[in-house]
């Protein structure tokens, strides 16, 4: 059986690249993203940082609010419906729709069990799926990468703030999602799944070690929440918040069509767009 790569390189996309972040069971946001993707043309590519799964239930954290009082988690968890729609789209558009493995997906294939809304979110979700759906979920997640590289755009996409303690992409290919892993691989897996930000200079070292000198100049990740949808987490790294934990008016996604030289090249209304603008 061919081992799925942990690092995927999309060398020369012929259309725009849509980048989105954690949805966490918000079906309306997923369907909005799917509609936007459809408008970008037949050559568009969609890359998600992961964490499609696990959302609030009627008793769970519905009272969390933004600083202006807007509720942040006031929606029903419709993860099963999202997965069915996502997998169908991946099958319709192979190599056009990609997802990185988030820590909430990792919980289904050997990773640490997540507890944001349930004591065991993986068990709670799988109890809502049929056995064939559970088996399909695990099989698909096992093939999702940790990193997507876009050399023509100078961009790397990860889930969390992946640590810079690697010599190159080969170190990521040695990782086993279900473990056990040697110390170095275990640390890389842990940071890639769960870490929120970078120490000074660490994001720049990571970009250097994942490509040729100067090849990658911007790193985009998710995993954390940001009410305003976008914030720098390093000199060359930024957090994208498309759905979960952002105010509705500030939920953000990226559309990339030109090389980026740095974070200053990400312009509001051009590369950085708002999910519900005009609605």
pLDDT number for residue 118: 87
Query: Which pLDDT does position 59 carry in this prediction?
Result: 63
- Measure Cα distances from 216 to 10, 75, 130, 191, 219 in Å: 13, 37, 42, 20, 8
CA distance readout (Å), 258 to 29, 152, 265: 26, 8, 10
> What per-residue confidence (pLDDT) applies to 2?
61
Instruction: State yes or no: pLDDT of 275 exceeds 80.
Output: yes
Q: Hey, what domains does the chain have and what are their CATH numbers?
A: 9-274 (3.60.21.10)
In tens, the pLDDT along 207-253 reads 999 999 999 999 999 999 999 999 999 999 999 999 998 999 999 99
Distance (Å, rounded) from C-alpha 203 to C-alpha 206? 5
Question: Tens digits of per-residue pLDDT, 84-126?
Answer: 999 999 999 999 999 999 999 999 999 999 998 888 999 999 9
The model's confidence at residue 62, banded by pLDDT at 50, 70 and 90, is: low
**71 Cβ contact list (under 8 Å, min separation 6):** 62, 63, 64, 65
SS percent in the chain: helix, strand, coil, step 5:
30, 15, 55
Tens digits of residue pLDDT in 128-138 = 999 999 999 99
Q: Is residue 60 predicted with pLDDT exceeding 70?
A: no
What average pLDDT does the structure give for the chain? 94
Please give the average per-residue pLDDT across 4-22, as a whole number. 96
> Tens digit of pLDDT for each residue in 17-46?
999 999 999 999 999 999 999 999 999 999
Reported as a single tens digit per residue, the pLDDT across 63-88 is 677 677 777 778 889 999 999 999 99
In 90-102, which positions are buried (b, 16+ CB within 10 angstroms) versus exposed (e)? beeeeebbbbbbb
Instruction: Say what the pLDDT of residue 1 is.
Output: 47
Tell me what percent of the residues of the chain surpass a pLDDT of 90: 88
What is the b/e burial string over 258-272, where b = at least 16 CB atoms within 10 angstroms of the residue's CB?
Answer: eebeebeebeeeebb
Per DSSP bridges, beta strands 45-48 and 155-158 are: unpaired
């Amino acid at each position: 059986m061919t081992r799925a790569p942990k690092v995927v390189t999309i060398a020369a996309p012929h259309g725009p690249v849509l980048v989105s972040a954690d949805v966490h069971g918000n079906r309306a946001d997923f369907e909005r993203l799917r509609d936007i993707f459809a408008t970008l043309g037949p050559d568009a590519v969609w890359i998600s940082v992961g964490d499609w799964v696990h959302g609030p239930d009627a008793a769970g954290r519905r009272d969390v609010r933004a600083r202006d009082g807007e509720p942040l988690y006031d929606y029903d968890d419709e993860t099963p419906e999202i997965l069915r729609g996502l997998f169908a789209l991946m099958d319709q558009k192979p190599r056009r729709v990609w997802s990185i493995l988030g820590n909430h997906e990792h919980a289904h294939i050997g990773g640490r069990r997540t507890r944001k809304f349930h004591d065991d979110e993986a068990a709670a979700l799988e109890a809502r799926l049929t056995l064939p759906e559970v088996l399909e979920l695990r099989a698909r997640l096992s093939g999702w990468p940790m990193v997507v590289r876009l050399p023509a755009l100078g961009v790397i996409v990860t889930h969390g703030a992946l640590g810079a303690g690697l010599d190159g992409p080969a170190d990521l290919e040695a990782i086993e999602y279900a473990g056990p892993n040697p110390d170095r691989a275990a640390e890389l897996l842990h940071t890639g799944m769960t870490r929120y930000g970078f120490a000074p200079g660490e994001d720049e070292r990571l970009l250097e070690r994942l490509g040729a000198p100067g090849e990658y100049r911007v790193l985009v990740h998710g995993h954390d929440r940001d009410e305003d949808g976008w914030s720098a987490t390093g000199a060359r790294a930024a957090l994208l918040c498309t759905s979960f934990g952002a105010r509705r008016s500030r939920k953000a996604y990226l559309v990339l069509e030109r090389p980026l030289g740095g974070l200053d090249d990400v312009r509001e209304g051009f590369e950085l767009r708002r999910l519900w603008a005009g609605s």
